[in-house]
Amino acid sequence: MIIGVLELQGDFAKHHQILAKLGIESVPIKSYHDLEKVEGCIIPGGESTTLSILMERYKMINPIKSFGESFPILGTCAGLIMMAKSVLDNRILPLGLLDIRVNRNAYGRQIHSGTKTIQMHWKGSIFSIPATMIRAPKILEVGNNVKILSDWKGSPIAVMDGHHIGINFHPELNNVSLFHEILFQPKSKNYYKPNQEKNVS
């Protein structure tokens, strides 16, 4: 399985590192033609308005929508915003891959960013993982078929809709591979273990 990482803007390098750690080949996605080479995609964090402008400029909005009909996509922070069905900012052209409504930067400015320990629910297990939120978006509403994987102070922060996952934080900054494994190594039983937190820098 070859996974593409969107490299228009944002923190894409660490996603390549996470995939390499899992033994998954990854390639950069810089045009819609690159989607023909991959079986999954990651939309990394960054600045969502800039990302939206670049995706429109390079004519990637509709190709990614079409790609998402058949293949899994993981969106982190700004990637979550782009994957939403509705965003409270008319500068964003969302992909509509996740049936959620999102508000950008709802958890405050850069000074309010930080790392929390959250509980992640998956297949009957609970994983305690670090979650680094940087000007994080807030999920305001979720559709009936959206599964909430984790929440923070009563609001969803990680959701799954079909074969897509969106999270409002940056797992790649803490070497958390759980979400990458769920989407891109679905048969793996070697999920991230809580005792790995001691290795987090």
Q: Is 20 helix (H, G, I), strand (E, B) or coil?
A: helix
Give Cβ neighbours of residue 164 (< 8 Å, ≥ 6 apart).
68, 72, 73, 74, 75, 83, 97, 98, 183
* Catalytic residue chosen out of the listed positions 77, 164, 180, 181: 77
Q: Is 141 a catalytic residue?
A: no
* Catalytic residue chosen out of the listed positions 16, 172, 180, 181: 172
* Catalytic residue chosen out of the listed positions 15, 16, 164, 170: 170
Sheet of strand 155-161, all strands in order from the earlier edge strand to the far edge: 25-29, 2-6, 41-43, 73-76, 164-167, 155-161, 147-152
Q: Is 81 helix (H, G, I), strand (E, B) or coil?
A: helix
Q: Is 41 a catalytic residue?
A: no
Name the phi and psi angles at 52, rounded to 5: -65, -45
Q: Is 77 a catalytic residue?
A: yes
With beta carbons less than 8 A apart as the criterion, state whether 163 and 71 touch: yes
**Other beta carbons within 10 Å of 130:** 18
Which residues are marked as active site? Answer: 77, 170, 172
